[in-house]
Chains A and B, each alone.
Chain A
Amino acid sequence: MEILALLADGMLLALQPLNLTMIVIGVSVGLLIGAMPGLGSVNGVAILLPVTFLVPPGSAIIFLAAIYYGAMYGGAISSVTLGIPGASTAVATTFDGRPLARQGRASLALVTAALASFVGGTIANMLFTLFAPALASVALSFGPPEVFALMLLAFATFVGLGGDDIPKTIFSICFGLVLGSVGFDQISGAPRLILFEMNGFLQGIGFLVLAIGVYGIGEMLWTIEQSRGEVSKTTPKMTLKGMASDAKEATKKGWKGTFVGSFLGFFVGVLPAAGATPGSLMSYGVAKMISRKPETFGQGNPDGVAAPEAANNSASTGSMLPMLTLGIPGSPTTAILLGGMVIWGLVPGPRLFVDETEFVWGLIGSFYVSNAAAVLINLAFIPLFIWMLRMPFTVLAPMIFVLSIVGGYAATRDMFDIWLMVIFGLGAFFLRKFDYPLAPAVLAIVLGPIAEPTLRQSLLLSSGDPSIFFTRPIAGPITVIALILIFMPAFKMLRRKRQPA
């Protein structure tokens, strides 16, 4: 009952005029960003984070969470109409969304995506409300070894669950952690890693500089190079009557995928580093596996649209659970949200539920409001978004570059950081060409300043004995799971080698 009362308070807070305005603007902007090829929630949140510094932290995070929500809805729009996913989270939506559009049923695909996203978001919100306070109360007993073990787990999931090249993933994590240690040693206060003796590094490298560089500049260069301006478009005709009939058909043919995506997406989203992309792909696979007509997947089955769309929305809420309760982000977007919270003077983690009750429940309440706002805005403005998608990429791209540079300067007020951002952007473009995953670096630059002091404090507590991470009742199992995940690729390789023998 106490949870319901807190949730009601939170929803009332989310419905306050400023917060409601933030939700409506955030969802609309998110929908548009999610629908744009090459841009996803992570880009939107990174680019617009500096804009939020004028409103109170509670409203700012509600705005960013609304962008996150909107972008998850929006990703399906370009997947269906353009045939290219608006973001990696909507890749699986193209598998059946695009064939439906080719059959002249783009409206059905878009309505199915919107409804599945709504159901996915609602189920995830309920699970979130149920689990968050319990997890936070357990996490209150955490000391430095437990916090460090969690950080290790966050990095380990990138290694163990990520399908990318393992040495490159580990390199990316370590690179982000080293970048996070530039500036001053937090404990002794001595200058550290002042690269090439440039004084600009004395203030450290902000995560925003790396995030905007990677996602605002690097990824746009990548999209321009990859797309080469060859984008085939399908413009669906949408009427109110048609949408109502599509909604009926979507409910009938897409309910199974929606429920698979809603539950699976949430639990995959909760895993640190897994996030919405693997969640949506896994849900598509499971929906296909349990379908009576698996052969129709890939040819325009509404279940194939519903499963990934419900999952990416559900996972986006799920990934906020470890961010708020444990202080470890479940996805690159939540890593940026976490960075924003640190900038606003809030410390994500179990204490947040005790010290900032209003903030936490206001945010949780906003999830429900954002979800409802997103489905309404999505359905109402789909024709407008489709019209805006016709904006030439040669107009869209420079606007995004300008927004990245101006937004970056507004946040840091230092031209040194802007140059660094450009260098990171160009570097990210080349690293991506050689399959270096960059999300781990962004996650690491956020977590580094939390991981390093907890490691040092733990080792000081144990007089340098690393067994402290194995002998404590909570830290021990977490560290063991983290190590299993880190060595999982090696186990897999060994097993593969043994099989032919």
Chain B
Amino acid sequence: MRNGEIVTAGVLALFSLYLMWKSTELPVGYIAGQGPGGGAWPFWLSAIMLLCCGMIAFNWWRGTSPPSQSSEPVLDAYGWKMLIMVGGGIVGFVALVNIISMYGAIAVFLLYYVKYLGRHGWGLSLSLALITPLVFFFFFEGAMRITMPTGMPFTDPVFNVLYEIIY
């Protein structure tokens, strides 16, 4: 945790510097008759962020913050596995939306999570993976008239059937 805290503070300090630099694309000082320039607000806030990172680093050096006193790893084996499996699953879910549609991605994600990560039976996994996207489809497209991404053209035949039901 100790190393992780200073690395995080360093990354956030770099990001603050980037935000300060980016803010200077608009004036950051006071313009007579117009008030503070458009970049002033984010510039000075980013400067405070940078200052805070310095204070976090100082507290780390003094060992006053709980993470700086901890010798535990940021994530143990379980934590990394969880992050890769669950976090990766969510990233995969979003990546699939533009390929197999929002509803297709929901089905694949639920099947992956419930069957593979949750180790539930095929019955429960398949029921959830099939019923949930259908419920969402009729709720969003039918009741709320909100169109979700339908993915690549190969999904059209499925959507044609579903749209015929609701329209």
Across the interface, A221 reaches (CB within 8 A) one of B53, B82, B136, B149, namely B82
A460 / chain B contacts, CB cutoff of 8 Å: 34-35
CB contacts under 8 Å to B, within A453-478, are 455-457, 459-460, 463-464
Across the interface, B56 reaches (CB within 8 A) one of A167, A178, A413, A429, namely A167
Q: How far is the CB of B109 from chain A (nearest CB, A)?
A: 7
Assess the B30–A395 pair: CB atoms within 8 A: no
CB contacts under 8 Å to A, within B5-20, are 5, 8, 12, 19
Across the interface, A434 reaches (CB within 8 A) one of B4, B35, B90, B124, namely B4
Residues 1-41 of B, flagged 1 when their CB comes within 8 A of A and 0 if not, give 10011001000100000010011011000101011101101
Of A17-25, A87-95, A247-255, A401-409, the stretch lying at the interface with chain B is A401-409
Assess the A394–B65 pair: CB atoms within 8 A: no
B146 / chain A contacts, CB cutoff of 8 Å: 410, 413
Say yes or no: is B94 at the interface (Cβ < 8 Å to chain A): yes
Residues 165-194 of A, flagged 1 when their CB comes within 8 A of B and 0 if not, give 111101100110110010001011010110
CB contacts under 8 Å to B, within A368-415, are 392, 394-395, 397-399, 401-402, 405-406, 409-410, 413, 415
Closest to A217 in B: B90
Say yes or no: is A418 at the interface (Cβ < 8 Å to chain B): yes
Assess the B67–A434 pair: CB atoms within 8 A: yes
Of A63-71, A259-267, A419-427, the stretch lying at the interface with chain B is A419-427
B152 / chain A contacts, CB cutoff of 8 Å: none
Assess the B38–A185 pair: CB atoms within 8 A: yes
Q: Using known A-B contacts A181-B42, A190-B38, determine if residue A167 contacts B55 with beta carbons closer than 8 Å.
A: yes
Q: How far is the CB of A397 from chain B (nearest CB, A)?
A: 7
Say yes or no: is B154 at the interface (Cβ < 8 Å to chain A): no
Q: How far is the CB of A209 from chain B (nearest CB, A)?
A: 13
Residues 313-341 of A, flagged 1 when their CB comes within 8 A of B and 0 if not, give 00000000000000000000000000000
Q: Using known A-B contacts A225-B79, A402-B106, A410-B140, determine if residue A193 contacts B128 with beta carbons closer than 8 Å.
A: no
Bound Cα distance from A27 to B133, whole angstroms: 25
Bound Cα distance from A398 to B116, whole angstroms: 12
Say yes or no: is A195 at the interface (Cβ < 8 Å to chain B): yes
Say yes or no: is A237 at the interface (Cβ < 8 Å to chain B): no
Assess the B65–A193 pair: CB atoms within 8 A: no
Across the interface, A410 reaches (CB within 8 A) one of B53, B97, B114, B144, namely B144
Assess the A167–B140 pair: CB atoms within 8 A: no
Say yes or no: is B63 at the interface (Cβ < 8 Å to chain A): no
Assess the B83–A225 pair: CB atoms within 8 A: yes
B45 / chain A contacts, CB cutoff of 8 Å: 174, 177-178, 181
Closest to A220 in B: B86
Across the interface, B26 reaches (CB within 8 A) one of A51, A190, A413, A459, namely A190
Assess the B46–A174 pair: CB atoms within 8 A: yes
Assess the B35–A457 pair: CB atoms within 8 A: yes
Bound Cα distance from A419 to B90, whole angstroms: 10
B132 / chain A contacts, CB cutoff of 8 Å: 399, 402
Residues 142-155 of B, flagged 1 when their CB comes within 8 A of A and 0 if not, give 01101011000000
Question: Chain A, interface size: which category?
Answer: 35 or more
Say yes or no: is A452 at the interface (Cβ < 8 Å to chain B): yes
CB contacts under 8 Å to A, within B82-103, are 82-83, 86-87, 90-91, 93-94, 97-98, 102
Assess the B41–A452 pair: CB atoms within 8 A: yes
Assess the B5–A192 pair: CB atoms within 8 A: no
Bound Cα distance from A327 to B56, whole angstroms: 32
B41 / chain A contacts, CB cutoff of 8 Å: 177, 181, 452, 455-456
Q: How far is the CB of A462 from chain B (nearest CB, A)?
A: 10
Bound Cα distance from A54 to B136, whole angstroms: 15
Assess the B35–A459 pair: CB atoms within 8 A: yes
Say yes or no: is A435 at the interface (Cβ < 8 Å to chain B): yes
Q: Using known A-B contacts A165-B65, A398-B114, determine if residue A422 contacts B59 with beta carbons closer than 8 Å.
A: no
CB contacts under 8 Å to A, within B109-155, are 109-110, 113-114, 117-120, 124, 128, 132, 136, 140, 143-144, 146, 148-149
Across the interface, B42 reaches (CB within 8 A) one of A54, A167, A193, A221, namely A193
Assess the B48–A174 pair: CB atoms within 8 A: yes
Residues 36-71 of B, flagged 1 when their CB comes within 8 A of A and 0 if not, give 101101100110110011011001000001110000
Say yes or no: is B167 at the interface (Cβ < 8 Å to chain A): no
Say yes or no: is A498 at the interface (Cβ < 8 Å to chain B): no
B143 / chain A contacts, CB cutoff of 8 Å: 54
Assess the B97–A415 pair: CB atoms within 8 A: yes
Assess the A171–B52 pair: CB atoms within 8 A: yes
A431 / chain B contacts, CB cutoff of 8 Å: 8
Q: How far is the CB of A172 from chain B (nearest CB, A)?
A: 9
Question: Among A171, A392, A455, which residue has the most Cβ atoms of chain B within 10 A?
Answer: A171
Closest to B25 in A: A192
B98 / chain A contacts, CB cutoff of 8 Å: 415
Assess the B90–A422 pair: CB atoms within 8 A: yes
A398 / chain B contacts, CB cutoff of 8 Å: 109-110, 113-114, 118
Closest to B20 in A: A178
Bound Cα distance from A192 to B146, whole angstroms: 30
Assess the B136–A406 pair: CB atoms within 8 A: yes
Bound Cα distance from A413 to B102, whole angstroms: 12
Across the interface, A178 reaches (CB within 8 A) one of B19, B32, B65, B110, namely B19
B12 / chain A contacts, CB cutoff of 8 Å: 171
Assess the B118–A171 pair: CB atoms within 8 A: no
Q: Using known A-B contacts A167-B55, A188-B26, A392-B118, determine if residue A178 contacts B46 with beta carbons closer than 8 Å.
A: yes
A425 / chain B contacts, CB cutoff of 8 Å: 90
A415 / chain B contacts, CB cutoff of 8 Å: 94, 97-98, 149
Interface of A toward B, CB cutoff 8 Å = 51, 54, 165-168, 170-171, 174-175, 177-178, 181, 185, 187-188, 190, 192-193, 195, 217, 221, 224-225, 228, 392, 394-395, 397-399, 401-402, 405-406, 409-410, 413, 415, 418-419, 422, 425-426, 429-431, 433-435, 452, 455-457, 459-460, 463-464
11 extra interface residue pairs, beta carbon distance < 8 Å, beyond A398-B109, A426-B87:
A174-B48, A178-B49, A181-B41, A188-B26, A228-B78, A398-B110, A405-B90, A430-B74, A433-B4, A434-B1, A457-B35
